[in-house]
């Protein structure tokens, strides 16, 4: 507690907020410099110029650019995400509906990946150079090299097409013969999420392992590990309690990297498995120039990452007391 001063925390919070503002500005510029306008999907061939003008007026495209920018910034900070032209619904509703679905997928794979990864990395780093290390390590690298959509296809082929064990698409059974109760909903979602999670974690855990292994190996040469051994502690205790805890520091940063990986991975996986989450609409909205939706998804993912970055810096200081933040030397 004492290692992080209140002023430091306050400073970081303000900076995180400013970061978000810059990201929003960047989003505004980037999306508007894309070729095509988002009202082009609403314009059909039979429309008169007045009707088109009417549409432009409704969506605020006739305002000067600085006014549009100002409106955008103010609206987003007051939680007003606007309306989606393609879904014909408020963007906020869309987000609220889709966010939890993605978070389920995210959370599960994040958890599984960051439990398996560091554990395997710990063992491999500790027993570095042995036959076991070499074979497991090279196999995991092969896994990590697979394109996620390709491995999903292979999984779908085996588990759905050949043996028909698991569903290959959607989040719920489309025309169920059972009643929707809390239990059946849970079971159905678990049944449908199995393949996407398998495909994502099959590749994803390696990322954490890759960060853990070399640092674990560096830590083995440290004095405190030697000391712990000299005290007569068991190899297991030294590895887990003394070495692994220090090797976890870069893994904490890696968690943010892992998050970025997960966002990409889940975008592809959601598209492959027709999972109705954010990853699916972020791609389609960008491609269809549905800017209100694209902006909102980008924005929410950005908020997620900025919060994670803040947490990482705090976790850092707890893991490594040698790092001091917010104190002048």
Partner 1 sequence: MATGQGDTETEGESYTRRWEPRLERMKRGWSRYTEHKIGVVGLIILGIYTLWAIAPSVFAPHSADWVAYLGEPPVQSRMSAEQVRSLPHPPAFGDPFFAPLGTNANGKGILSLVIYSARNAMYIGLAAGLLSSLVGVPLGLISGFYGDTWIDEAIQRFVDIMYGLPFLPFLIVLVAIRGITTTNIIIGIAVTSWLNNCITIRGETLSLKERSYVESAKVAGASDTRIIFRHIMPNVLPISFVFLAQDAAGAVIAQASLAYLGLADFTANSWGIMLENIKSQGYIFSAWWWLIPPGVALMLMAASFYFIGFSMEDVTNPQR
List interacting residues with partner 1 (CB under 8 A): 15-16, 18-20, 22-23, 26-27, 30-31, 33-35, 134, 137-138, 141-142, 144-150, 153-154, 156-157, 161, 210-211, 214, 218, 221, 249-250, 253-254, 256-257, 260, 263-264, 267-268, 271, 282-283, 286-287, 294, 297-298, 301-302, 305-306, 309, 316, 320, 322-326
Residue number, 193 or 215, with CB nearest to partner 1: 215
Min dist. Cβ of residue 234 to partner 1 (A): 25
CA 98 to chain centre: 14
Q: How long, in residues, is the chain? A: 329
Angle at 298 between CA 295 and CA 301, to 5 degrees: 145
At its nearest, how many Å lie between partner 1 and the CB of residue 119?
A: 19
The angle at the Cα of 280, spanning 278 to 284, to the nearest 5 degrees, equals 115
CB nearer to partner 1: give 166 or 233. 166
Q: Kindly give the interhelix angle for 278-287 and 91-126, rounded to the nearest 10 degrees.
A: 120
Nearer to partner 1, 24 or 188 (CB): 24
Question: DSSP character for 31?
Answer: H
- Give the Cα-Cα-Cα angle 286, 288, 290 (nearest 5 degrees): 70
CB of 262 to partner 1, least distance (A): 10
Q: Estimate the crossing angle of helix 291-319 against helix 245-272, to 10 degrees.
A: 160
Q: Min. distance of Cβ 184 from partner 1 in angstroms? A: 29
The residue among 52 and 319 lying less far from partner 1, judged by its C-beta, is 319
**Contact indicator for 267, 239 with CB cutoff of 8 Å:** no
Helix (H) or strand (E) holding 125: helix 91-126
Q: Which is nearer to partner 1, 191 or 316 (CB)?
A: 316
| 124 φ/ψ angles, rounded to the nearest 5 degrees | -65, -40
- At residue 57's C-alpha, the angle toward residues 52 and 62, to 5°, is 105
Let me know: does 277 contact 224? Beta carbons within 8 Å: no
Q: Which is nearer to partner 1, 164 or 179 (CB)?
A: 164
Instruction: Give the H or E element holding residue 99.
Output: helix 91-126
- Shortest Cβ 103–partner 1 spacing (Å): 15
Residue 89: strand pairing partners = 84
CB of 282 to partner 1, least distance (A): 5
Nearest in space to 191 (alpha carbons), one of 174, 203, 204: 174
d(CA 180, CA 187): 10
CB of 301 to partner 1, least distance (A): 5
| Distance of closest approach, residue 76 Cβ to partner 1, in angstroms | 14
Shortest distance in whole angstroms from residue 162 CB to partner 1? 9
Which residue's entry shows tokens 């960060």?
211
Identify which of residues 20 and 193 has a Cβ nearer to partner 1 in the complex.
20
Decide whether 210 or 244 has the Cβ nearer to partner 1: 210
| Cβ proximity to partner 1, 34 vs 74, nearer residue | 34
Quickly list H helices, the chain.
6-32, 49-58, 65-77, 91-126, 131-144, 148-155, 182-219, 223-230, 235-237, 245-272, 278-287, 291-319
């Amino acid at each position: 507690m004492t290692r992080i001063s209140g002023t430091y925390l306050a400073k970081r919070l303000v900076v995180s907020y400013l970061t978000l503002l810059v990201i929003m500005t960047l989003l505004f510029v980037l999306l508007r410099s894309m070729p095509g306008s988002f009202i082009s999907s609403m314009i059909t061939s039979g429309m008169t110029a007045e009707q088109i003008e009417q549409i432009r007026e409704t969506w605020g495209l006739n305002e000067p650019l600085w006014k549009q920018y100002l409106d955008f910034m103010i609206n987003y900070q007051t939680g007003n995400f606007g309306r989606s032209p393609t879904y014909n619904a408020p963007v906020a509703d869309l987000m609220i509906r889709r966010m939890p679905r993605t978070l389920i997928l995210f959370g599960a794979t994040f958890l599984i990946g960051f439990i398996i990864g560091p554990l395997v990395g710990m063992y491999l780093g500790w027993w570095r150079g042995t036959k076991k290390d070499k074979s497991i390590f090279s196999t995991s690298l092969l896994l990590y090299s697979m394109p996620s959509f390709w491995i999903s296809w292979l999984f779908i082929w085996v588990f759905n097409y050949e043996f028909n064990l698991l569903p290959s698409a959607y989040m719920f059974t489309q025309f169920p013969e059972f009643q929707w109760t809390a239990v059946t909903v849970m079971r159905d979602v678990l049944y449908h999420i199995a393949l996407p999670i398998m495909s994502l974690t099959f590749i994803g855990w390696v990322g954490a392992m890759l960060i853990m292994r070399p640092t674990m190996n560096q830590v083995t040469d440290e004095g405190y590990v030697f000391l712990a051994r000299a005290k007569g502690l068991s190899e297991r205790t030294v590895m887990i309690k003394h070495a692994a805890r220090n090797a976890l520091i870069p893994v904490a940063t890696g968690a943010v990297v892992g998050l970025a990986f997960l966002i990409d991975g889940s975008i592809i996986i959601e598209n492959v498995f027709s999972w109705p989450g954010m990853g699916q609409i972020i791609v389609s909205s960008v491609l269809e120039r549905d800017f209100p939706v694209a902006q909102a998804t980008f924005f929410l993912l950005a908020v997620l990452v900025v919060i994670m970055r803040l947490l990482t810096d705090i976790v850092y200081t707890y893991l490594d007391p040698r790092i001091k933040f917010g104190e002048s030397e």
